[in-house]
Amino acid sequence: MPGKPKLNPDEFLKAEYEYIASTVIQANEDRSRVASFYFVSVGSLVAAILGSIFSANDLKSVSLAFAGLFVALTALGALTLSQLARLRAAWHESAEAMNQIKDYYISQNQEIAPAFKWRAHTLPPTDKPFSIANLIAVEVALLGAITSAAAMYFLLAFLGNIAWWGWALFFVTLIAGYISLWAWYKYLLVDNQ
């Protein structure tokens, strides 16, 4: 009966570390793709809408359809923020796993400790302010707030002339849209969910 093959723990840990490193890279690439898709989608639809508004004689006849479209764009923004939050959390979890392997090797070889900047206690937080991930999420939340306010504008335009209270409702929708989208992002931006 042949003996069990010898498992080299260093090779196993090296393979695990390389796998985790590839998940970190993939999460970063996916965040970029998700945000780019959203920005192109919103930009294309807004350009199409603006083109049709300037060619339409009667804005009221298309306002309800535009309101619905901007509601859909706001929902797309919320989904994009969901993806961005989960991808950031996935990156953070992968970085924590890499640090666990580093900590193991450091416990076995204390002299290599100074070689690592990021350790369990120095890893940037998931919601690090002004990180690229955070700034992309802010941009998506702002665009989502604008699309929610645009939906309100077109709904009010469908209902008739927009009075002063309509403009107040427009600005309240803009602010509430941003606050709710940002709260949604922060809610989903946790590890191990």
Task: Render pLDDT for 2-27 as a digit per residue (tens, 0 to 9).
Answer: 666 665 667 767 777 787 778 878 87
Q: Is the dihedral of CA 168, 173, 178, 182 positive or negative?
A: positive
- For residue 193, being part of any structural domain is answered with no
The answer for residues whose C-beta is within 8 angstroms of residue 120's C-beta and 6 or more apart is: 96, 99, 100, 103
The DSSP-derived string for the chain is: -PPPPPP-HHHHHHHHHHHHHHHHHHHHHHHHHHHHHHHHHHHHHHHHHHHHHHH-S-HHHHHHHHHHHHHHHHHHHHHHHHHHHHHHHHHHHHHHHHHHHHHHHHHH-GGGGGG-S--TTTSPPTT-TTSHHHHHHHHHHHHHHHHHHHHHHHHHHHHSS--HHHHHHHHHHHHHHHHHHHHHHHHH--S--
Reply yes or no on whether the pLDDT at 60 is more than 60: yes
Q: Give the pLDDT score at 147.
A: 92
What's the predicted TM-score (pTM) here?
0.77
- Give the tokens for residue 48: 């199409």
- For residue 93, being part of any structural domain is answered with yes
- For residue 30, being part of any structural domain is answered with yes
- For residue 107, being part of any structural domain is answered with yes
- Identity of the amino acid at 83: Q
**Could you tell me the CA-to-CA distances from 136 to 34, 79, 112, 118, 130 in Å, in that order?**
10, 14, 35, 23, 9
- For residue 126, being part of any structural domain is answered with yes
**Could you tell me the CA-to-CA distances from 165 to 63, 76, 190 in Å, in that order?**
19, 28, 39
Please tell me which of 43-52, 89-98, 110-119, 137-146 the model is most confident about, judged by mean pLDDT.
137-146
For residues 78 and 148, give the distance between their C-alpha atoms in angstroms, rounded to a whole number.
11
Domains in the chain, number: 1
Give the pLDDT mean for 55-81: 83
- For residue 3, being part of any structural domain is answered with no
For residues 130 and 38, give the distance between their C-alpha atoms in angstroms, rounded to a whole number.
20
Reply yes or no on whether the pLDDT at 109 is more than 60: yes
Q: Give the pLDDT score at 131.
A: 85
- For residue 2, being part of any structural domain is answered with no
Q: Give the pLDDT score at 142.
A: 93
Q: Give the pLDDT score at 101.
A: 80
- For residue 100, being part of any structural domain is answered with yes
At CA 33, angle to CA 173 and CA 142, rounded to 5? 15
Domain that holds residue 171: 9-188
